Amino acid sequence: MVCRPVGHEAHRETMQVAEHDTAPRIAQDLTRFLETRREQIAQRWADAALFRAVFTVSRDEAVEACKAVVDALADVARTGRLEDVGAPGFGAVRDQLGRMSASRSRAGFAPSHIADEVAGLREPVAALLRAEYEEPAGERAHACLLALTVLMGTLRLVVMQTTVSAGEELIARQREQLLEVATPVIKLWEGIVAVPLIGTLDSARSQVVMENLLEAIVAERSQYAILDITGVPTVDSLVAQHLMKTVAAARLMGAECIVSGIRPAIAQTIVHLGIDLGSIITRAGLADALAYALNRQGIVVSPRPVAGASPR
């Protein structure tokens, strides 16, 4: 394959051929370049904000990290999978990239900013690559530069991927913590348990609430269960459906469910939405619900005669 940089048409043709035939050779060129210029690239990258901010202790450390990234890029170029985010070459530096992006996010940078910083790594390498060729506008140099751009794009994607997955892990962990924290089941009286619901009820949380409540009903042998929604900011049809499911499940177990803590605004919303809570016993406050449950059990709470009032 001879490169003939004559005119626009010829250029087009060679580019097309390059797609099929010369791609491996271009990748080899790129690999060789990355291997020979490893030191120089690393030195230039080490001054970039992305590396400097992470490896603050010594510049040598940053240079080492840069070398690892260059090696990974060379590895990927050698296999020819320039566009493959899952290329095994990246595996070696994925951890390190993850640490870098994590420390950048901790410093308050948005993922797009981190991506821009990674994109900034391309220019120094491209300059080095151009200097490599005697004829920078030549066909070969052009193709190689293009390959480098693709490779750097892939690196950018890998960094984004690690950033996003780190964020997802954080979210998943926090969601789990939220589930653990927010649904205690309290025994109010012999045979009466209550769940104070706090925060928005979604499917996952209401599932956990339902499971915890039913387990508590069995464990405490409670006839009455109170669902207090004082801490639920809004009730829409979905939340109402979750509530009704919980009530139905508790009833199947043989316990009576009372929904309490319905604020005036929420009562209005429920009426406006046309949700029929007619099958559910509702009370305004937790105290009212407790009074109802006590009353149903035949327990009467009355004030003791005041000691001062009785004649002595």
Partner 1 sequence: MTGVFAAHPVPVPVLALGDVLLVTLQGELHDGAAGQLQHDVARRIASGPAPVGGVVIDISGVDIVDSFLGRVLAEIAASASLLATRTVLAGMRPAVAITLAELGLTLPGLVTALDVDAALSLLDRAPSPVPPAHPEEGA
Residues of the shown chain interacting with partner 1 in the complex, contacts defined by CB under 8 A: 207, 210-211, 214-215, 217-218, 221-223, 245-246, 248-255
Minimum separation from the CB atom of position 246 to partner 1 (A): 7
Q: Which is nearer to partner 1, 28 or 207 (CB)?
A: 207
At closest approach, how far in Å is the CB of 279 from partner 1?
A: 9
The identity of residue 199, as a single letter, is G
Cβ-based nearer residue to partner 1, 31 or 246: 246
Judged by beta carbon, residue 144 or residue 240, the one nearer partner 1 is 240
Report the amino acid identity of residue 69: V
**Residue 20 per-residue DSSP state:** I
Cβ-Cβ contacts under 8 Å for 97 (sequence gap 6 or more): 69, 158, 159, 162
Phi, psi of 43 (to 5 degrees): -60, -40
To the nearest whole angstrom, how small is the minimum distance from the Cβ of residue 269 to partner 1?
A: 23
Distance (Å, whole) CA 115 – CA 286: 51
Shortest gap between Cβ of 252 and partner 1 (angstroms)?
4
Q: Which is nearer to partner 1, 73 or 217 (CB)?
A: 217
Q: Which of 177, 171, 225 has the alpha carbon at shortest distance from 199?
A: 177
Which residue, 39 or 211, has its beta carbon nearer to partner 1? 211
Nearer to partner 1, 256 or 288 (CB): 256
Q: How far is the CB of 234 from partner 1 (least distance, A)?
A: 23
229: its two tokens: 């929604």
Residues 6 or more apart whose CB falls under 8 angstroms from that of 27 comprise 77, 78, 80, 82, 147
The minimum distance between CB 118 and partner 1, in angstroms, equals: 46
DSSP string, 92-134: HHHHHHHHHHHHHHHTT--HHHHHHHHHHTHHHHHHHHHHH-S
